[in-house]
A and B are shown apart, each in its own frame.
Chain A
């Protein structure tokens, strides 16, 4: 179902004209209201008047995460605090958090984008949505919440944690959809199974999952364990929060970027050069409608590619492929670029392996080492040493063949690796210690 047919199915030329009109407005606004952008544009010898087509966008400088940190907390806001109705902040695992702001209209825009996302997942006002994204400074919980209410669905504001209680409510309240990270949904199903709950017999029929990179194999695993359709949602707090792009249930292949609100580009992360449709690179967004905290050419560090082919759902918005990693998650092991999600895909190809793993990066002398820790489930366990060693060898060989890097594999006891209720942290890099 399409929530806002007028916008979501605009012919491309009309959409692009709308984007250009909105781009000019936002550039004009940031140039005159945000000191940082005024200075940055001057340094690049460009003014808003120089941007006369969407192709001119490439003349504008990028905004990066460090710019947000440098202007902490409120330096990039383009409206006075009296017009701001909400603040959110990133977790800030490295240093200060990133602060983002919303006007009343921004909150309405965001709610609409989330309502569109839920509709793209086939949800209507008749659905009950179990929202297990964290409520609080994180944008996930409240973002999904407002969207669910906007759609008219019934929302269970569960937030993260209290896993056993979540399972009780999934059984008793009978939600038809769940929002959380894919790794948390796997954890939920594991705990549910331990409690003796048949997770396949719940009323759940769809999962709107995001906030971390995941693979097609993890999708299959989730769909098998819970008997649901698992869909990918994309967003980041700097740009809006969840609801920047959403996979449609009809296509299930790539996420439609809500292009009436955002311009999306893909660039070469090393050179900054804009790449044509179809090529893999770093995703860059420009916000078109946000009032409080507009961002121009913001580098997300997420790696994906854009698919311009028309989708069977009828939306004309370009699709971005499922994010395959982050440019800052990228590990460089002896000169080879490795994304944790690539290792995950290799592991999930091997029959019987559980989707729980950990990567340990270390350095022996001047040589980087990568250890892959994999849990031994009863599916792969054998009383013969040789058979377990064969599994280790198979993983080493597959990783070498597919990714081109030599790893060491360590089998560990079941459930000994950490489980995650929020974003999974699967990499331990000991090289900096």
Chain B
């Protein structure tokens, strides 16, 4: 039920981001979702892509520092309070969310949100038990 995310270290300088997107384009890799966290000095680009191994390989070849992390993708009902219901559940269970971002594509009628959670197994169990749909990696890469 886990999804693999890659993250890339970027200095804050002109052309930093396009350097990554060019490598991915040339590697014929499709970005499924992304988020950029930045400070005044550096940024961390987090990506869900259709081919994790190849993306890491081509980025490494171009000298980028690339991390791989497990995250979870959860379907969220597309209505007011949809996201809150998930976060409320996690809070009740005492589970801390490191960060989250929205998926570009929808899954049927639902939006998809990516969560980075340290207690990932506990979160998956809690969400599934309470009727939330945690999407498997294969499905997410192909959305």
A binding-site residues for B, Cβ under 8 Å: 376-378, 381-385, 388-389, 410-416
Q: Which residue of B lies closest to A410 (CB)?
A: B41
Is B67 within 8 A of A378, CB to CB?
A: yes
Query: Separation in Å of the A24 CB from the closest CB of chain B?
Result: 60
Is B64 within 8 A of A414, CB to CB?
A: yes
Across chains A and B, which 3 residue pairs bring their CB atoms closest together, nearest first?
A383-B7, A381-B65, A376-B9
Q: Which residue of B lies closest to A383 (CB)?
A: B7
Contacting residues, chain A, for B46 (C-beta < 8 A): 383
Is B9 within 8 A of A389, CB to CB?
A: no
Is B42 within 8 A of A388, CB to CB?
A: yes
Is B65 within 8 A of A389, CB to CB?
A: no
Interface residues on B, range: 20 to 34
Contacting residues, chain A, for B5 (C-beta < 8 A): 383
State whether the Cβ of B63 lies closer than 8 Å to any Cβ in chain A.
yes
Is B99 within 8 A of A384, CB to CB?
A: yes
What is the interface of chain B mostly: helix, strand, loop, or mixed? strand
Assuming A382-B67, A383-B7, what are 12 further A-B pairs, CB within 8 angstroms?
A: A376-B9, A376-B65, A378-B67, A381-B9, A382-B7, A383-B44, A383-B67, A383-B116, A384-B98, A388-B42, A411-B9, A413-B65
Is A414 within 8 A of B63, CB to CB?
A: yes
* Binary contact readout B63-85 vs A (1 if CB under 8 angstroms, 0 otherwise): 11111010000000000000000
Query: Separation in Å of the A42 CB from the closest CB of chain B?
Result: 59
Is A389 within 8 A of B39, CB to CB?
A: yes
Best-buried of B5, B39, B46 by chain A (most CB within 10 Å): B39
Query: Separation in Å of the A336 CB from the closest CB of chain B?
Result: 24
A327 to B127, CA, bound (A): 63
Contacting residues, chain B, for A385 (C-beta < 8 A): 37-39, 44
State whether the Cβ of B105 lies closer than 8 Å to any Cβ in chain A.
no
Best-buried of A383, A389, A411, A412 by chain B (most CB within 10 Å): A383
Contacting residues, chain A, for B88 (C-beta < 8 A): none
State whether the Cβ of B93 lies closer than 8 Å to any Cβ in chain A.
no
State whether the Cβ of B10 lies closer than 8 Å to any Cβ in chain A.
yes
Contacting residues, chain B, for A389 (C-beta < 8 A): 39
* Binary contact readout B20-58 vs A (1 if CB under 8 angstroms, 0 otherwise): 000000000000000001110110101000000000000
Contact A415 to B67, CB < 8 A, known contacts A376-B9, A388-B42? no
A378 to B9, CA, bound (A): 9
State whether the Cβ of B125 lies closer than 8 Å to any Cβ in chain A.
no
Contacting residues, chain A, for B66 (C-beta < 8 A): 378, 381
Contacting residues, chain A, for B99 (C-beta < 8 A): 384
